[in-house]
Amino acid sequence: MIIAVIVLLVVIILFLMLYNMSVHKKIDVYKNINQRITSLNVLQEFMSTIGEEKSADEKIKRINEILIEKYEIKYSTIVIYTGTEYTIKATNVDQKHWETLKSLHKEEIFRDSIQTATPKYITVEREGERLPYQKLEFGRAKSAMFFPLYIDNIYIGYWIIESGIPHDFDNVDTTILEVVKNNIVSVLKTIEKQSVVENIVRTDLFTNLKSAEYLYSEGKRFIDQYATSAICMFKIINIVDINENIGRHTGNDVITQISDLIKNNISEDYIFVRYMGPKFVIAFSGVEVGGVTEFMTDIKQKIENMNIEVNEQDLYENDDDNIIAKPKINVVVTTYYKGTPLEGVTKKLEEYLDNSNEESAINYI
């Protein structure tokens, strides 16, 4: 009888052990599926962030916020190497620690990670210890994972996540984090071009207007607040004649006086840039093409009624002090639809002006 009970108990114990193992496997499978679902949702949010009308820096910061929210990370920092210096692009760590975080490439413990493009996991073993890269802090981070970032085999910086708990990343699925890291790299690669455009915006010396790059970066974000906008480009068609027959300094005066005339007559809600040479662009945000006809007709008339005197620096080349410069312009307008390539629209307008003869009317294409 006792033997039968013992056998029964052994069978029950074995059954419970097998059942327990089965439950653990199911939990692991569930966790894995849940992590993959989370990663898919994160990727979708990454893509949504890329499409938002924000600056490149704002997008990187939002991506870091998504990582912190979705993966419940205590601290997350993205550091980019610009070619001359390391810059923190996104972090939720207090600013007093930034100098340390953007100098991790100097730490011996991370150098091999950067050279081999492999992640590095470090943690403390007991209270009172600190991570090797920590200089002035003890309690903030107790474990960290360091991921070097590469675009097309070119090192561009690193991503580091930290926790205030020792061994907090021991059971983290590193394959999932590798996917996350690759997604970060993909996003950085995607917004790299946007960042380049934003950083090459210049202010024109003569007119004090922004360059065309402004139109495609910050300007576009403002324009895209509306479903459609009217984009107008005009060209001073006789600027070459003025430069050759009167003088280049006078030609510069023509450009500055025309730009001043428009700046004094245009609403602050519209964007006015010097596109290239004698070409200028006005973006009438949220305005239908037909709504700019009267304004541009009036502007064209005012410009072509201007009598600009010869610049003093050009007088020695002209015997006749009574010579004046009378600018002429060609104007073309088209509709821009939110979300479409704005550079394609301006290219179409530029080609039209370059191929058109002197025209008196406002042209629409």
What is d(CA 213, CA 294) in angstroms, rounded to the nearest whole number? 28
What pLDDT score was predicted for residue 138? 61
What pLDDT score was predicted for residue 192? 67
At 335, list the tokens.
């509709």
What pLDDT score was predicted for residue 39? 53
DSSP annotation of 317: G
Mention every residue, 6+ apart, whose C-beta is less than 8 A from residue 214.
201, 271, 273
Mention every residue, 6+ apart, whose C-beta is less than 8 A from residue 317.
247
What pLDDT score was predicted for residue 37? 43
What is d(CA 351, CA 347) in angstroms, rounded to the nearest whole number? 6
- Note the maximum CA span of the chain: 132
Angle made by CA atoms 5, 9, 12, in degrees to the nearest 5: 140
Pairing, β 329-337 against β 308-309:
unpaired
**Crossing angle (nearest 10°) for helices 174-199 and 56-71:** 160
Three-state secondary structure call for residue 320: coil
- Strand 75-81's sheet: what is its strand order? 86-91, 75-81, 154-163, 143-151, 120-123
At 354, list the tokens.
């370059």
What is d(CA 131, CA 161) in angstroms, rounded to the nearest whole number? 13
pLDDT, mean of each 10-residue run, the chain (365 residues): 61 59 47 47 66 73 85 89 84 89 90 90 84 76 91 87 88 77 78 62 79 83 88 91 87 91 90 91 91 90 90 68 84 88 89 79 77
What is d(CA 124, CA 131) in angstroms, rounded to the nearest whole number? 6
Q: What is the pTM of this model?
A: 0.56
What pLDDT score was predicted for residue 41? 63
What is d(CA 210, CA 135) in angstroms, rounded to the nearest whole number? 44
Residue count of the chain: 365
Residue type, position 330, single letter:
N
